Amino acid sequence: MDHGFGSWATIHHLRNADRVAYVDGLAGVQTTYAQLEERTNRLADALRAKGVSHGERVALLCLNSPQMMEIYLAVAKLGAISVPVNFRLHPDEIAHVLSDSGASLLFVSTPFVDAATQALASGTSVRETIRVPALAEREAGEGGDYEPLVSSGASERVVADVGHDDVCVIMYTSGTTGRPKGAMLTHGNFFYNAINAMGFASGIGRTDVTISAAPLFHIGALGVHTLPFLFVGAGVVVIEAFTPDQWVEAAARHHVTQAFLVPAMWAAVAASPALETADLSSLRLAISGGAPCPLPVISAMKSHGVAFTEGFGMTETSPNAACLQPEDVVEHAGSVGRPVAFMDFRILDEMDQDVPVGHVGELCLRGPSVFVGYWDKPEATAEAIRDGWFHTGDMARVDEEGFYSLVDRKKDMIITGGENVYPIEVEQVLYGHPDVVEVAVIGVLDETWGETVAAVVVRAADSSLTADGLREWARERISHFKAPRRVAFVDELPRNATGKILKRELRITEGGGHTAVSR
């Protein structure tokens, strides 16, 4: 029996067949739940004919589209595992994800075919690449490899034995050791995450409509709204790429009721001239996540009659873990709120003992939406999940009212525009430059991106290396969002008595002491 999230399309085919599940782009094709069920049945059957079976990995290097969601659902119906790949990654990084996951098939949006070709040239287990048309191609009636593949499958429901404990998505997160790790998420994780999503403001109903504009290879876009809306049979407008004016127009045209964006996106929407004339009377709730949202942005959205909430979560928590409700979002600014319904929080010291209220310790989480471990990384899994508790690596405190606040990042992670960047990943690349003697990478406050990546560098003697030169060198080797936007050259890096680089001092001297966890 199928207890996976692929069955949600089947349920709503029976309950809400004529309701719109997905809208493709600003004014694009609508897919009803009846059509979604048939298309995902056909795709699942076609994939089964290609040998995709229970537990096999299927990678997605795709732009946002209803087709991307169809792939997720068809793979889920087979009991196989989707591996979404960040299309902003360098081909070498894409190759690592494909090789590490052991993906056998790769769906790739046509703009990324060249990157995929470069990634596959290094040798992976991918045996076939399937081209998915971009929006402009779909509007021109071009189907790539994708539409013929869907048409080749039978419309009857493919039924596999799928349980809540089965892994359905491996989502890669930036690793503290310089290589991304694949977080294994189960069907049960997504089931309970959808239930936890009901606790934001007044919840979600089948008449609601949202926009998926943040990339669906991220857990935020996939887990905050897109899958929970499928769970209740609601509608999703899928935007291929975010621009604020287009977002506002789509929200007005399709009578969007709720929306999720990361803070940089909300700031762009709040500053859009289109917001002044658009009819957003249907939009009752804005949800922000990925980093704290600046108060002026919250105030701007509230001035247009939109209630504002903030959520806290991680890839490893599917992602909903805590919520700051509309009535608390200003008074408790800087907090991530209180835990969602099916999530327990603890703050522990170095001995894994609870710290007193108001004291700082490591935030640890437990609940049915917490991942089951890292793909093929038993040691990393054992380190992260101990005695049933997921150790997040974030340092936090809780107040007397039960509001949790993050005060620092144990792992020094940087969040820039909703993207997670670990300094060691960037540092390892920069150390490859022959003129870099020492380097420390930190996050500094940025009004647009929340944080921006900054590198503090000690150059080799007599080096003529410039900031622009190092930036360009880095961008040729890693994703642009990971490459430092700011480069500062110093004679030496500050260290403590044991020789450890004092990044806190660098944040003060280079970034004014700001981090994204303060407002």
> pLDDT tens digits, residue range 226-246?
999 999 999 999 999 999 999
The CATH number of 7-324 is 3.40.50.12780
Q: At what angle do helices 423-430 and 467-475 cross, to 10 degrees?
A: 110
Question: Residue 91: pLDDT above 90?
Answer: yes
Question: Residue 400: pLDDT above 80?
Answer: yes
Looking at per-residue confidence, does 282 or 176 come out higher? 282
Question: Residue 448: pLDDT above 80?
Answer: yes
On the question of a common fold for 7-324 and 414-511, the answer reads no
Class level of CATH domain 414-511: alpha beta
Question: 258-261 and 285-288 as β-strands: parallel, antiparallel, unpaired?
Answer: parallel
* Spatial distance between the Cα atoms of 79 and 167, rounded to a whole number of angstroms: 8
Cβ neighbors of 392 (< 8 A, separation 6 or more) are: 314, 316, 362, 363, 364, 365
The domain limits of the chain are 7-324, 340-409, 414-511
Reported as a single tens digit per residue, the pLDDT across 143-161 is 899 999 999 999 999 999 9
What length does the chain have? Answer: 519
Can you say whether residue 358 is alpha, beta or left, with left for phi > 0 and alpha for psi between -120 and 50 degrees?
Answer: left
With a threshold of 0.75, does the pTM exceed it? yes
* Spatial distance between the Cα atoms of 364 and 343, rounded to a whole number of angstroms: 10
Q: What is the DSSP-derived secondary structure letter of residue 61?
A: E
Reported as a single tens digit per residue, the pLDDT across 256-303 is 999 999 888 998 999 999 999 999 999 999 999 887 788 888 989 999
* Tokens coding 387: 């005695």
Q: Chain-centre distance of CA 73, in angstroms?
A: 18
| pLDDT (mean) for 340-354 | 96
Percent of the chain clearing pLDDT 90 (strictly above): 78
Q: Considering only CA atoms, give the Rg of the chain.
A: 23
The confidence score (pLDDT) of residue 472 equals 95
What are the angstrom distances between the C-alpha of 506 and each of 3, 106, 515?
A: 50, 42, 12
Question: Residue 356: pLDDT above 50?
Answer: yes
Kindly write down the DSSP assignment for every residue of 228-292, as one continuous string.
HHHHHT-EEEEPSS--HHHHHHHHHHTT--EEEE-HHHHHHHHT-GGGGTS--TT--EEEE-SSP
Question: Residue 177: pLDDT above 80?
Answer: no
340-409: which CATH topology?
Answer: Luciferase; domain 3 (2.30.38)
What is the H or E stretch that residue 511 is in?
helix 503-511
Confidence of residue 505 (pLDDT cuts 50, 70, 90): confident
Which residues pair with residue 454 across a beta bridge?
442, 486
At which residue do the structure tokens 């790539």 appear? 144
The confidence score (pLDDT) of residue 176 equals 45
